[in-house]
Chain A
Amino acid sequence: MEDQITRITSRLVVPFIQVYGIYIILHGHLSPGGSFSGGAIFGASLVLVALSFNLEAGSKQIPHNAASVLESGGALGYLITGLVAIALGGYYLSNKAAGFPMGEAGSLFSAGAIFIITLFVGIKVASTIATLFYYIIEGEK
């Protein structure tokens, strides 16, 4: 499906959607939203690319190898953050007790492990949505 109106509109809108998704993921500990919703928004922008252009343009944005690496990397990063907490002397997945840098409450780089885990889960959810969509679309060919 190739349509000029959807193509040009999505070309205008997609960067803003992606910035909004990244904003929601990064501000997960400050404002409503967080990893799951921000990742879903970012993944939706990749789906929009695939729908308004063609499948090749979308697949070029996030190739299958990179998708699986991001997917497993997000889950592994979550686990490793928990293990780092043990190495630092806390219990599994602890935050302040393990001595992650807390920063000043309310600033962007604060809340220690929460910031890191939100980032990892956001990457994972975004790549999950994009991969799911691309695989199902390709399966119909």
Chain B
Amino acid sequence: MTPALTRRGRVAGLVGLVAAASGIAAGGRALDAIVIPVAIALAAGYVQVSRVDVPAVRHVTPADGFVGETREVRLEFGPDVTGDAAPSRSFLADVFVRVDEGLDGPTAPIRASVGSEPVSYRVTYRERGERTLGPIELTATDVFGLFERELVVDETDAVTVYPPRDPIPARFRRALHAADAVDVSRQREEFDRLREYTRGDAVRDVHWATTAKRDEIVVKQFSAETARNRVTIAGGTEVGGGEELSGFGPEDRSPSAAAADELARATVSLALALLDDGVPVDVRLPAGRVSASPGDRGRREVLELAARTGPGAVAGDEADVTIVAGADGARFRTGDRSVSFDDLRREAEGERQADGDAGANRTDGSRDRRGVASP
């Protein structure tokens, strides 16, 4: 786009013209001191703005995160390869980043000096899924703001926003795997094999008999993560029947989308709770399936699947837990029992309060964050 006068620029131009006209019509007075500076400011402004090129922009994408989290995003301008040319290329601009509707981006343009240093802004994750940052609109201007020029940088980047996670009561978790399998004690029940000692192994696990026969120390390996304890979770949404709830919520979203959100939320809550317990999970959702073992990678696989998933029927039938979500909430079905996600959430809240202090709360929260933010 060509440089256009801003309102301020139009006023300045008008003042200059009036002054010049007045000078010609009714004598010079001190009008030179108005006409010349206005002309200089306008000329300089035009030159400054017209010399601007669309800069190369790099998004320093923030980490993926849960709904409700706020992250700082950085934009880096200008190619770093031509180092010496960069400083003169810098120009003033209002930077406005268009973001996906599932994100809360900056509401006002960021006044920045493009090219001289990076610009950062905050986004708040509102809805799960693959969310795009960009394109970037730049309104280049001169030092007096007399001219402006719109530039669009078609640079987009994506972040994955995970569904929110709720606590799942311990009672329910334990019911899904052997009650004794939870916590450390469980691991010592099942002897797996003997192996070489590595640093950090407990002295009590040393298998002295074998160690005595060999040159090296041999320890007992217990089977903590056995296939026997793997929990399969299958999820889906109730097809149809959601139309009567179209008034639900402030967003104008279809009931099936709301059901998918509920499904994702319930799945993530349960799967992460199990992974935190050290229990591997198989998750089947309309968007696909993952087999996740405890650890950051497993957690992320589950979160990404849940972030992506849309509405759909439950796939397959063999599952320890089947989650069926509607627009108003999700239900867990284990065998012949069925419990609503809302009830579980309430129960977990109660459990947490029973635990008492806010410290438990905080630990829980920090665990969540660490698990997601570190990969």
Task: Say whether A and B bind each other.
Answer: no
